[in-house]
Structures are given as structure tokens and as C-alpha cells.
Amino acid sequence: MHDRSPIAIVGAGIAGLTMALCLARQGFEADILEQAEALEEVGAGLQLSPNASRILIELGLLPQLQAVWSEPVAIVLADGYSLRPLARVPAGSNARGRWAAPYGVLHRASLQRILLDAVQSEPRCRLHLGTRIAGDPAEAIVDAIGRRPAAIVGADGIRSEVRAAVPGAGCVRFSGNVAWRLMIPRAQAADCLSGDRVTAFLGPDAHLVAYPIRETDSFNLVAIASGRPADEAWAGHNSEERQRVLAAAFECWHASLLSMLKNAASATYWPLFTVDDGAWHNGRDIVLIGDAAHAMTPFAAQGAAMAIEDARELAHCLAGCADPSSAFARYEGTRKPRIGRVRSRGAINRFAYHARGPLRVGRDLILALRSPEALAADLDWLYGYGAAGR
């Protein structure tokens, strides 16, 4: 787009704020429209793999990230029943060396705050809170800001309203899995949790991921198992009933892990939804990024990373094409194969993490034969994406 006309972004989460910054770096002005009156990020921890941190570093955010995140020395798979280590992928300095960017863990709210501060310091970005975009996005945006944008980016998440304006867009589906998210103070954490690594404990039909959150001196836990798509009144909040359901899903696990889950002060319950493969743009003026386009389950820990990658790629496409429709086609052509491959990796991880019976035994035998170096090499296509020479 040669005239660099202003672009509207619907949604001020990680996807939308990153999109605004990437557009600003390409010389575009961006209006970010967010229905919330104030930005209060829900959720807890977040893993930023090198393919995502590399883009945030390009945006000049490394000092802010280093002030709040931790760089785990390894990503470890362990048996949830015995605590026996099964596999180890080096991270820390190895991540910086191998994938040319850090692997960091931090609170999701910290990343949103960093992105928000950067947006508010960027003259090309304008944030409009308390502004809901419903119905025809173009007309709603004109009503909200008094002008028609050159393009509209739907970054409004899994329940996107902008997606309804894209014919052939994917449908939202319940994955069959739910995630319990907990924050455990370090003093109350099980001894098997390590402050210098990400650990995924595996068991039949369930797994538990734990890693340190530096700012709160705590551990972030995400427990994923089969479940039901609870209604709004049940999901996302704590109750004794949900605590019992959580304990039941992990009742045969190692006593130290089960005791920690039972005694946790709170456990928020999040049904995991996905968006089917479908159209990401309307061929004219509307395009989707992040969860609005392709929400996926967290088995590859790449949801936020894919949104960040989308933002960078779309900004480059808009800067390099004469009109939005050409930019959208190039963006979709580049990103869809990547998203498909990440989805496939997530499906493999889901199968492996939740294996039971003979499949579980076979998984453990295969992992025992793989060296840390070999396991890291398996991730080069994922974590090395965007590095020089790749």
C-alpha cells in the first residue's frame, strides 16, 4: 500500500497490539479499537519461544522483556506418575545460540503491559478503549472514529465478531479438552518443580505444564485434560466443584503433584476451542490474524507466537503490495502452510502427551533413544523461523 493510509485493528490483546507496532514500523498509522474500558489481561503464564521473541526484539522490546521474564535452561518431559524424566530439550543459552533468540517465560499480563506501553509511546498508534465493533465492521469503525480505514484487521480472538464479515471463515469448535490455570507460590510448590526449567508432566489423557514466574515468585501451572465446554458462569472462575473435577482428572498421579493441585487456592477452568481452517480475508478490506483466524489447542505452546508471527508477516505484506487484497492473498499464502504445520505438531504432541497403555510405553522407549541435541533439531523449523539464513 503505497499511500500508507491508516489501518484499523479490532482487539487490543497480544495480537492487536503487536499488529499496531509492526504496522508503525512499516510507516502505517493504526487505530486499535477495543471493547473493554480498560485492558486487564486474564490468564497466567506465557511461553515465548524464539520464533516469537525474535519479532518482539525487532520491535525494540528486549530490555523490557528481560526485566520481567525468565529464560529456562531446558524444557523437560517427565512421567506424571513416577516423576521420572523422559526427555530434555536444552534452552537458555542454547536457545540463543541455536535459534538466535531467547526462550522466555513470563506472566501474560506483563507482555500485554509491555506492548501497551510501546503502543502508547508510538505516535502512529491510537488506542480507542470502550469501543465495540459489531455488525458491519467498516461502518462501525466509521461511526467510532469518523473515518473509513484502508484495511481492517480482526485481532479479536476466538469469539471474533469481525470473522462474521469474512465469507467462508472457519467455525469455532470445542476441542474436547479443558485447561485449568493455576499460580502456585514458590513456597507451596512441590519439590519436583524446578525454578530453572519448563516441565511437562505426562499421563494418560492428561498433562501438566509448570514453569516459574519471576515477577510473582511463583509457578505457573496449566493442567490439560478431557472435559466439557462449560457455560460462562462456570468457566474462568474458581469453585469447590471445579477443584474436585481437577483433582479427579489427576487422581492417580504422583502424590506430590496431586496434593499441590488439591490445595491450590484457585484454579480457573478454560474450555479449549479451535477455529477450523477457512478463509482469513474477504478479498477486499478485512483480514483476520491470531486466534480470530486459526485458534489452536496449546499442545505446541504456540498460540501467542503464531499471532505475533501473523502480525509481522501481514505488516510486511501490506508494505510490499499496492492494495490490501493483494497483501491479504500474499499473507494467507505464506501463513497457512506454517499454521498447518504447527497444528500438526500440536496434534502429535497431544497424542504423545496423553498416550496410555502400550502406546505410552512405546513413547517412553522412543524418547529414551533421542538425545537432547536430536530433540532440539526437531524444533529448528519451529523455533528458528525468521532467523537469518532460515
DSSP for 90-102 reads E-THHHHHHHSS-
Report the DSSP beta bridge partners of residue 212. Answer: 219
Regions of the chain where pLDDT drops below 70: 1-4, 41-43, 230-239, 389-390
Number of Cβ within 10 Å of residue 108's Cβ equals: 19
DSSP assignment of 210-267: EEEEGGGTEEEEEEEEE-----TTTTTS--HHHHHHHHHHTTTS-HHHHHHHHH-S--
> What cell does 119 get?
503502543
Q: Are 215 and 110 in contact (CB under 8 A)?
A: yes
Choose, from 211, 331, 353, 383, the residue flagged as catalytic.
211
The CATH number fitting domain 7-171+275-383, selected from 3.40.80.10, 3.40.190.10, 3.50.50.60, 3.40.50.150:
3.50.50.60
Distance, in Å, from the CA atom of 44 to the CA atom of 376, rounded to the nearest integer, reads 26
Q: What are the structural domain ranges in the chain?
A: 7-171+275-383
In this prediction, residue 248 carries a pLDDT of 87
**Can you give the pLDDT at residue 236?**
54
* The pLDDT value given to residue 267: 80
- pLDDT for 241 equals 74
Phi, psi dihedrals of residue 281, rounded to the nearest 5°: -150, 165
Q: Cβ neighbours of residue 118 under 8 Å, at least 6 residues apart?
A: 17, 21, 59, 60, 61, 64
Per the annotation, the verdict on 385 as an active-site residue is: no
In eight-state DSSP terms, residue 323 is S
Beta-carbon contacts of residue 19 (< 8 Å; ≥ 6 apart):
9, 30, 153, 155, 289, 310, 311, 314, 315
- DSSP 8-class letter at 169: P
Calculate the CA dihedral of residues 210, 49, 125, 213 and round it to 10 degrees.
30
pLDDT at 110: 95
> What per-residue string of b and e applies to 43-65 under the rule 16 or more CB within 10 Å gives b?
bbbbbbbbbbbbbbbebebbebb
> What is residue 238's predicted lDDT score, i.e. its pLDDT?
56
Coil vs helix vs strand at 206: strand
Helix (H, G, I), strand (E, B) or coil at 38: coil
